[in-house]
């Protein structure tokens, strides 16, 4: 990926996450744009770039809601690593398997955040039933846009 395009994708994704979660959420629900993009980039580019993007996007999320600073950076970095390793076993080039991985990664993201909170803050950070049930589907709706973003960065080499 071209470094300038990589920076543009990073900043645009951070802006979209901020804008969507603050101005365009439905009933308090908004997709985890940065989680979806971390999964897509790790599936396409491998675990190293997935971990890097996930870590820095996680720092951005931690700055947005700093109740447990570093938790999002750790969890998104682990998501990038896990999907980067998983891409060797599953063909993630198609939208359907990628959507299924995003669906499961959303639940794992919520659980990992709760476990990190349990380890460091001694309370399990529970997001509630509505996001637990709705957000995986909501995130899957964002997968085609993330795939288009990936194609844009790849086509402009």
Residue 26 φ/ψ, nearest 5 degrees: -105, 110
Distance CA 35, CA 131 (A): 14
Q: How many C-beta neighbours within 10 Å does residue 105 have?
A: 24
Give 96-148 pLDDT, tens digit per residue: 999 999 999 999 999 999 999 999 989 998 888 988 999 999 999 989 988 88
Give 50-107 pLDDT, tens digit per residue: 999 999 999 999 998 878 898 999 999 999 999 999 988 888 888 899 999 999 999 9
Q: Of residues 5 and 97, which shows the higher confidence score?
A: 97
Spatial neighbors of 34 by CB under 8 A, at least 6 apart, are 13, 14, 17, 54, 57, 58, 60, 61, 76
Q: What is the tally of helices (H) and strands (E) in the chain?
A: 6, 0
The pair of three-digit structure tokens given for residue 117, joined into one six-digit string: 């909170």
Q: What is the pLDDT of residue 148?
A: 80
Global pTM value? 0.90
Distance CA 89, CA 32 (A): 25
């Amino acid at each position: 990926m071209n470094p300038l395009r990589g920076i543009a994708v990073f900043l645009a994704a951070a802006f979209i996450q901020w804008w969507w979660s603050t101005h365009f959420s439905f009933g308090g629900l908004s997709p985890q744009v940065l989680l979806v993009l971390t999964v897509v980039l790790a599936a396409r580019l491998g675990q190293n770039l997935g971990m890097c993007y996930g870590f820095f996007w996680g720092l951005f999320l931690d700055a947005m809601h700093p109740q447990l600073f570093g938790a999002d950076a750790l969890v998104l970095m682990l998501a990038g690593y896990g999907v980067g390793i998983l891409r060797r076993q599953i063909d993630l080039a198609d939208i359907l398997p990628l959507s299924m991985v995003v669906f499961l990664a959303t639940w794992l993201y919520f659980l990992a955040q709760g476990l990190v909170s349990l380890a460091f803050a001694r309370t399990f950070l529970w997001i509630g039933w509505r996001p637990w049930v709705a957000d995986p589907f909501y995130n899957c709706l964002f997968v085609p846009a993330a795939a288009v973003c990936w194609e844009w960065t790849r086509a402009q080499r």
